[in-house]
Chains A and B, each alone.
Chain A
């Protein structure tokens, strides 16, 4: 198949050999699970259980709220011991609303609905099952999958792309799941393709994963699914970039892949979809890569959502040496964390304990305008110019240069010889611009309300004055009438 060029991109050291040959193992059942209510893009789920409730594995414990949200299920059987705050899997480490579940050790499933012939389901039923199972994009974006299916169903899908790129260094969770569960993934892909009536299905896998490519090709035999080897380059697994490489099309700025008839899902999401529809199992676990130079035995683990990261690190033999930095996700876009009590959530693809030499951190020095960042940017931005504007607090200037088109992939920061934290600048500016926009909207709304109030008060005043005038006129008319009558009387 003809592939198209990716503009820019970088070649970070893969480091996947640390864990790529490790079979997926299930992490032993933890005693306590901390399940945050917000593990997805959109509104947090609302708990439907109370403290003291006994729940079974897979039982709904918090339901989706509003248009963009996702449900959350009990990862194991046990007792709800707390509805309250627990440290978030976020760099801030702030407490977030969390359901704490104490495992009873039995790991007993609740009722699961088994569908005999999933492909006979109506497309909207598939989306409904996916929504009920609380499935979100497992590639890291954690957008509710059912919503994506529904949005695409309306506009029609020409090409369904299954993302097996896994371009982040260290991570091997998608590699392993494709090697070990290819048959299930292929069934999941067929269900997704059926749900959106896709005309063409492509599975894009970077060519540094030959075993995964072979396994997927074998499993896809006899189906219309095409497995495509893509060059290994970061950020190949980014949604916009994988579309560009496989189809040659670009998602219009501010648009969605659906606008050009494309839908992208992660391969691990396809596995979750298959499990949900075939076996009625909601999304309560995921594969996590535990790796990094400071980890004694890097590995791939199947982990229940809500498991404290500390248990993963201990199961991996602990630290080989003190970690210079702990990261959730991959090194290019992942987030640092400091408290190892943070739970694994639906979007946690990796837990990395990195040595100082792996981070390669150094003091930032002045920009020499070498434009290595310009060549590395897969979007075609001028990172050095945007950073210069942001440095002088000219956020509008940075926005005019395309700040909002930045995908925060980190390629520019990675290659910058001056070690300038470019993406940090951009995320700061994006956050500040969003806050400015919100406050502007708020001001406008306030002004509108104030104007309405003034108008209403003026109207009431006017009406009152009019009424008074009317009464006065009536009184005067009456007086005149009376006077006239009197005069007439007198005259008579």
Chain B
């Protein structure tokens, strides 16, 4: 006998696979820009990260005795590896991508029970693991507009060819280094901060984090397609920009202004693609706003006073841990009840 189905007997034309595919589509412009900017090594790294994630996830899912195909088809593993790849230095060696991807999908996700169960954003967890374990490889940057050939790119990615000649520093790292030498912002930024280049992404940085405008367009596309809402991204940008503006006004030579902060590091990618990760963020609009705002504030605090030049990944992980608490206290008001859940009093008339 056919099993009896429960209502509703209609469904919106949506699925997890479609959601993930839309997010990947939104990431594509910034990714292609990264490929163009950094050349073949970036493509290699991205491909290695994806392949490692797919194979690694397939392996552990099979070990669990679960069906591999539906897990791979939901696209979440690919998205995680993609996001991780975008946050890596473009000339990083292949094993950085492999280790990161395996850590993300296995330790970051499958160990918790698979899709939807993880507490921490897998891509950010992997990025922080790599940064702490391999600080050299994770902070060796190159200046854009150098286009190694395919063969040379293979040597860079797979045989760790030294890239001393091309090495550069990211803006945030440069500023932090200059501060330790007692050099103020006005000198540190001179020749390093070109707002228009920052906006378009032609700067030293991670593989896919630099194209601020393209990431913003991708994010707005996701908001328009109702995959994400504005709350967390907007709040995160606000959380960085507001204190930056305030402190910049107080001491402009020591605290960078809001535009420097908004256009550097992994903030744009973080705001539109990381803090909007549904699994590890709160489930109400207000909760998402609080979450995003806190991520932004923490990012700014770490950038300004912390030991590391960039703080997006740390901020996100800290707030991931706070998500259950936010969800516990921020709940929508139920129809016919007040905010505390007490039934509305009966009023005549």
Q: Chain A: residues with CB nearer than 8 A to chain B?
A: 7, 10, 12-13, 91-92, 155-156, 158, 169, 240, 244, 250-255, 259-261, 325, 327, 331-336, 338, 352, 354, 358-363, 365-372, 374-375, 377-382, 384-385, 402, 405, 408, 410, 413-419, 421, 423-424, 427
Are A382 and B335 closer than 8 Å at their CB atoms? no
Which residue from chain B places its CB closest to the CB of A408 in the assembled complex? B7
Q: Say how far B284's CB is from chain A's closest CB, in angstroms.
A: 6
Q: Please pick, from B116, B334, B349, the residue contacting A367 in the complex, using a CB distance under 8 A.
A: B116
Q: Please pick, from A12, A361, A380, the residue contacting B332 in the complex, using a CB distance under 8 A.
A: A380
Determine whether B70 belongs to the interface, using a CB cutoff of 8 Å to chain A: yes
Q: Please pick, from A335, A378, A418, the residue contacting B16 in the complex, using a CB distance under 8 A.
A: A418
Q: Say how far B207's CB is from chain A's closest CB, in angstroms.
A: 25
Considering the complex of A and B, which 8 residue pairs feature the smallest CB-CB distances, nearest first?
Answer: A360-B11, A410-B8, A424-B6, A253-B343, A253-B336, A371-B283, A331-B10, A380-B332
Are A379 and B343 closer than 8 Å at their CB atoms? no
Are B279 and A336 closer than 8 Å at their CB atoms? no
A residues in contact with B344, CB < 8 Å: 250, 252-253
Q: Please pick, from B281, B285, B331, B337, the residue contacting A382 in the complex, using a CB distance under 8 A.
A: B331
Which residue from chain B places its CB closest to the CB of A354 in the assembled complex? B9
A156-B348, A385-B283, A415-B12 as given contacts; A369 in contact with B278, CB under 8 Å: yes
Are A333 and B8 closer than 8 Å at their CB atoms? yes
A residues in contact with B14, CB < 8 Å: 372, 415-417
Beyond the given A325-B5, A338-B2, A358-B9, please list 6 additional residue pairs across the A-B interface where CB-CB is below 8 A.
A244-B335, A254-B336, A255-B343, A335-B7, A380-B335, A382-B283
The distance in angstroms between the C-alpha atoms of A416 and B16, with both chains bound, is 9
Are B336 and A250 closer than 8 Å at their CB atoms? yes
The distance in angstroms between the C-alpha atoms of A382 and B13, with both chains bound, is 22
The distance in angstroms between the C-alpha atoms of A10 and B14, with both chains bound, is 13
A residues in contact with B8, CB < 8 Å: 331-333, 410, 413-414, 423
A255-B336, A366-B115, A380-B335 as given contacts; A414 in contact with B11, CB under 8 Å: yes
The distance in angstroms between the C-alpha atoms of A230 and B18, with both chains bound, is 32
The distance in angstroms between the C-alpha atoms of A380 and B15, with both chains bound, is 23
Determine whether B151 belongs to the interface, using a CB cutoff of 8 Å to chain A: no
Determine whether B345 belongs to the interface, using a CB cutoff of 8 Å to chain A: yes
Determine whether B250 belongs to the interface, using a CB cutoff of 8 Å to chain A: no
A residues in contact with B229, CB < 8 Å: 375
Determine whether B76 belongs to the interface, using a CB cutoff of 8 Å to chain A: yes
Main secondary structure of the interface of A (DSSP, over half): loop
Q: Please pick, from A13, A361, A368, A380, the residue contacting B334 in the complex, using a CB distance under 8 A.
A: A380
Are B346 and A259 closer than 8 Å at their CB atoms? yes
Are B348 and A427 closer than 8 Å at their CB atoms? no
Q: Please pick, from A336, A374, A427, the residue contacting B4 in the complex, using a CB distance under 8 A.
A: A336
Q: Say how far A162's CB is from chain B's closest CB, in angstroms.
A: 20
Determine whether B195 belongs to the interface, using a CB cutoff of 8 Å to chain A: no
The distance in angstroms between the C-alpha atoms of A377 and B283, with both chains bound, is 13
Are B278 and A331 closer than 8 Å at their CB atoms? no
Are A423 and B335 closer than 8 Å at their CB atoms? no
The distance in angstroms between the C-alpha atoms of A244 and B343, with both chains bound, is 16
Main secondary structure of the interface of B (DSSP, over half): loop
The distance in angstroms between the C-alpha atoms of A91 and B4, with both chains bound, is 7
Q: Say how far B293's CB is from chain A's closest CB, in angstroms.
A: 18
Are B116 and A368 closer than 8 Å at their CB atoms? yes
Are B12 and A368 closer than 8 Å at their CB atoms? no
From A333, A366, A374, name the one whose CB has the most chain B CB atoms within 10 angstroms: A366
The distance in angstroms between the C-alpha atoms of A374 and B1, with both chains bound, is 35
Determine whether B161 belongs to the interface, using a CB cutoff of 8 Å to chain A: no
A residues in contact with B345, CB < 8 Å: 252
Are A370 and B115 closer than 8 Å at their CB atoms? no
A residues in contact with B149, CB < 8 Å: none
Which residue from chain A places its CB closest to the CB of B284 in the assembled complex? A374
A residues in contact with B279, CB < 8 Å: 368-369
A-B contact pairs, 11 of them (CB 8 A): A251-B336, A253-B336, A254-B336, A261-B349, A334-B9, A360-B13, A375-B229, A410-B7, A414-B11, A417-B19, A424-B6
Are A260 and B347 closer than 8 Å at their CB atoms? yes
The distance in angstroms between the C-alpha atoms of A423 and B335, with both chains bound, is 18
Residues of B1-55 contacting chain A, CB below 8 A: 1-2, 4-16, 18-19
Residues of B300-349 contacting chain A, CB below 8 A: 327, 331-337, 341, 343-349
Determine whether B177 belongs to the interface, using a CB cutoff of 8 Å to chain A: no
From B5, B11, B278, B281, name the one whose CB has the most chain A CB atoms within 10 angstroms: B11
Are B7 and A334 closer than 8 Å at their CB atoms? yes
Residue-wise, chain B 84-122 has the 8 Å CB interface mask toward A (1 for contact) of: 000000000000000000000000000000111100000
A252-B345, A367-B116, A414-B11 as given contacts; A7 in contact with B335, CB under 8 Å: yes
B residues in contact with A335, CB < 8 Å: 7
A169-B10, A253-B344, A415-B12 as given contacts; A338 in contact with B4, CB under 8 Å: yes
Q: Say how far B343's CB is from chain A's closest CB, in angstroms.
A: 4
From B14, B16, B334, name the one whose CB has the most chain A CB atoms within 10 angstroms: B334
The distance in angstroms between the C-alpha atoms of A408 and B347, with both chains bound, is 26
From A250, A360, A370, A413, name the one whose CB has the most chain B CB atoms within 10 angstroms: A370
Are A419 and B15 closer than 8 Å at their CB atoms? yes
Are B11 and A374 closer than 8 Å at their CB atoms? no
B residues in contact with A416, CB < 8 Å: 14
From B10, B13, B76, name the one whose CB has the most chain A CB atoms within 10 angstroms: B10
Residues of B103-148 contacting chain A, CB below 8 A: 114-117
Determine whether B74 belongs to the interface, using a CB cutoff of 8 Å to chain A: yes
The distance in angstroms between the C-alpha atoms of A363 and B9, with both chains bound, is 14
The distance in angstroms between the C-alpha atoms of A250 and B345, with both chains bound, is 10
B residues in contact with A10, CB < 8 Å: 12
Are A253 and B334 closer than 8 Å at their CB atoms? yes
A417-B15, A417-B16 as given contacts; A405 in contact with B7, CB under 8 Å: no
Are B16 and A260 closer than 8 Å at their CB atoms? no
Q: Please pick, from A7, A13, A332, the residue contacting B7 in the complex, using a CB distance under 8 A.
A: A332
B residues in contact with A381, CB < 8 Å: 332, 334
Q: Say how far A155's CB is from chain B's closest CB, in angstroms.
A: 8
The distance in angstroms between the C-alpha atoms of A363 and B69, with both chains bound, is 13
Are A325 and B9 closer than 8 Å at their CB atoms? yes
A336-B4, A367-B116, A370-B19 as given contacts; A331 in contact with B334, CB under 8 Å: no
Q: Say how far B230's CB is from chain A's closest CB, in angstroms.
A: 13
The distance in angstroms between the C-alpha atoms of A22 and B124, with both chains bound, is 58
From A259, A365, A415, name the one whose CB has the most chain B CB atoms within 10 angstroms: A365
The distance in angstroms between the C-alpha atoms of A297 and B326, with both chains bound, is 53
The distance in angstroms between the C-alpha atoms of A88 and B118, with both chains bound, is 45
Are B16 and A368 closer than 8 Å at their CB atoms? yes
B residues in contact with A371, CB < 8 Å: 278, 283-284
B residues in contact with A368, CB < 8 Å: 16, 19, 76, 115-116, 278-279
The distance in angstroms between the C-alpha atoms of A358 and B11, with both chains bound, is 8
Q: Say how far A328's CB is from chain B's closest CB, in angstroms.
A: 10
Are B9 and A359 closer than 8 Å at their CB atoms? yes
Q: Please pick, from A12, A405, A410, the residue contacting B337 in the complex, using a CB distance under 8 A.
A: A405
Q: Say how far A480's CB is from chain B's closest CB, in angstroms.
A: 72
Q: Please pick, from A92, A379, A418, the residue contacting B335 in the complex, using a CB distance under 8 A.
A: A379
The distance in angstroms between the C-alpha atoms of A354 and B336, with both chains bound, is 35
Are B348 and A378 closer than 8 Å at their CB atoms? no
Which residue from chain B places its CB closest to the CB of A402 in the assembled complex? B334
A residues in contact with B5, CB < 8 Å: 325, 336, 359, 361
The distance in angstroms between the C-alpha atoms of A336 and B279, with both chains bound, is 33
Q: Please pick, from A12, A361, A367, the residue contacting B12 in the complex, using a CB distance under 8 A.
A: A12
